Amino acid sequence: MKKTTGLQRICCLLTVLALGLLQLNTASAKVLGQWEYEVLDDGTARIIGYRGVDEELIIPDTLKDYPVSAIGDGVFQLKQKLTSVIVPNGVVSIGAKAFSSCDGITTITLPKSLKTIGNRAFSNCKGLRSIELPEGLESLGENPFALCDNLTEVTFTGANDAYEVRDGALINRAENRMVAWLHQT
């Protein structure tokens, strides 16, 4: 019979611990139909996965009895068949790269409740020509519309204190910094 070394025992122990941690992370994820979500401390849900194939997507406002308040990082990334998306009222944040590389999207409807859009959330959405941001939007991550080559118009549903569109660019008012350049036709 072979003897195990201390190093082999440590490697086995680390493997068992890593597998246990993976199970802990996935244990909090819940699945409802085509949606994967997690329940947040405030009793709301963050969508963390999508297994559907819809072209015209209406994101639900609740999953089970949990109001949807967030869309996680990369949830819809590379879903190139999406053509339109409606994000429900109650969603306050959209994560980094949430809709990145969704070439087919031509329209996105964002809710009044939205406060935060993550880094590159809509990057490389080549079909997107215009977008209306909610007046209460407080934070836009880095390059939210990078490589959106056909995006020519960004508007707000009302006066926005944090951002403005000026001279073909979306500007962070407080930092006087360009957030996105809008392509001109």
For the entire predicted model, the pTM comes to: 0.83
Q: Classify strands 177-181 and 35-39 as parallel, antiparallel or unpaired.
A: unpaired
pLDDT in tens, 45-79: 999 999 999 999 999 999 999 999 999 999 999 99
DSSP, collapsed to helix, strand or coil, labels residue 154 as: strand
Q: What is the pLDDT of residues 116-165, one digit of tens each?
A: 999 999 999 999 999 999 999 999 999 999 999 999 999 999 999 999 99
**Amino acid at the residue 39:** V
Cα 77 from chain centroid (whole Å): 8
Q: In the numeric block, which tokens belong to residue 153? A: 């118009």
Report yes or no: 38 and 45 within 8 Å, Cβ to Cβ: yes
Task: Check: CB of residue 106 under 8 Å from CB of residue 82.
Answer: no
